[in-house]
Amino acid sequence: MIDYLGKLKNRSRPNGGFSVLPNGEDRPDATAWAAIILAASDSESGLLNPAWSRLAATQLRDGRVSIAPDHPDAFWPTPLAILAWEPSPDHQRHQSRAVQFLLQTSGKHWAKNPQSPLRHDPSLKGWPWIDQTHSWVETTALAMIALHLVGHEGHPRLEEAAKMLLDRQLPRGGWNYGNTIVFGQELRPSPEDTGAALSALAGRVPQTFVSRSLDYLMAETPKLRTPIALGWSLLGLAGWEKAPVQAEDWIMETLHREGRFGGYDTPSLCLLLAPLFAPRGLKELPRRGKNLETAAAQA
């Protein structure tokens, strides 16, 4: 049995961060995802404090955590840093600054124009990938999950973000990156965006509001064997207590496909592992969970 947590640990760099691929340079999103998974596992690695501190070293003065020093506008890793810092009492100041940054940031929005070829309401605020751009589904979902975890579930920003996600839901069910109908044509959903949106909306809206999306995802998930699509799909279903009983089998099958298709990058690997350690979804990510060896033995 391949030690997937061991593979993850081997991507730790001397500065405490984690690389996207083996022997590469560290990157904030990879570091955050690795810290999230290691903290939720039963692995006493000694790598968490260095990872948390490396994330803190990349944080800018206004609280954002960007993808790279030369791309400060690309602040989409900030919610991941909030999730990663949650178990660390020594990094609560950094987490609080990141939270305040998210609460004060929304991207560009404008009033809905009835003549627009885009059907969604662009005035509803979520979060963008890059500063001064429009809000999209995955980034909004991650921000909502992070803010919920730290106790801001009743904040007006989350209330509006939930309305934004519901507005971006496709009429036939599911979500894509964030457009619904363009020039009268309904676009197609994607499992990963649907899983992310359902993760964020779990416990916040009645199930009837997302029933078509749940039906879509339950039909699609058994076909998925790629890490991002399967990981987000399982997390989305778990948030609504609809995790398939075969979930661990599918995760293990996808992990073993690395030998055929090449190694997964760190964020993808962690996203695939996340349902093993967050069986009720990311909003209820445990501080410690069952270890991967136990999960593998049961698969």
pLDDT given for residue 3 in this prediction: 82
Q: pLDDT digits over 156-166, tens only?
A: 999 999 999 99
Per the structure, the count of domains in the chain is 1
- Tell me the residue range of the domain where 37 lies: 4-298
Predicted confidence band at 261 (pLDDT cuts at 50, 70, 90)?
Answer: confident
Taking the model in full, what pTM does it have?
0.93
Q: Look-up: residue for tokens 């991941």? A: 80
Whether the per-residue pLDDT at 298 is higher than 80: the answer is no
pLDDT for residue 284: 78
Q: What pLDDT does residue 51 have?
A: 97
User: In the predicted model, what is the mean pLDDT of residues 46-53?
Assistant: 96
Are 159 and 165 contacting, i.e. CB atoms less than 8 angstroms apart? no
Please report where in the chains the tokens 């995955």 appear, as a residue. Answer: 138
Tell me, what's the pLDDT at 290?
A: 38
Q: Mean pLDDT over all residues of the chain?
A: 92
pLDDT interval class at 43 (50, 70, 90): low
Element (H, E) at 232: helix 227-239
3-state SS, residue 180:
coil
Residues 272-289 have pLDDT tens digits of 999 999 988 888 775 433
Find out whether 18 and 265 touch, Cβ atoms under 8 Å.
Answer: no
Percent of the chain with pLDDT over 70: 94
- Range 172-184 average pLDDT: 96
Domain containing 11 — which CATH number? Answer: 1.50.10.20
Q: Helix 137-149 vs helix 78-85: angle between axes, to the nearest 10 degrees?
A: 20
Handedness of CA 72, 76, 77, 82 (dihedral sign): positive
Structure letter (DSSP) for residue 170: -
Per-residue tokens: 257: 């496909």
Q: Provide the pLDDT for residue 291.
A: 39
Q: What is the predicted pLDDT for the residue at 287? A: 44
Q: Assess whether pLDDT exceeds 50 at residue 226.
A: yes
Contacts of 2 (CB under 8 A, 6+ apart): 255, 256
As a whole number, mean pLDDT of residues 12-31 equals: 96
Query: What is the C-alpha end-to-end distance of the chain, expressed in Å?
Result: 11
Q: How far is CA 280 from CA 21, 235, 284, in A?
A: 28, 7, 6
Map residue 251 onto helix, strand or coil: helix
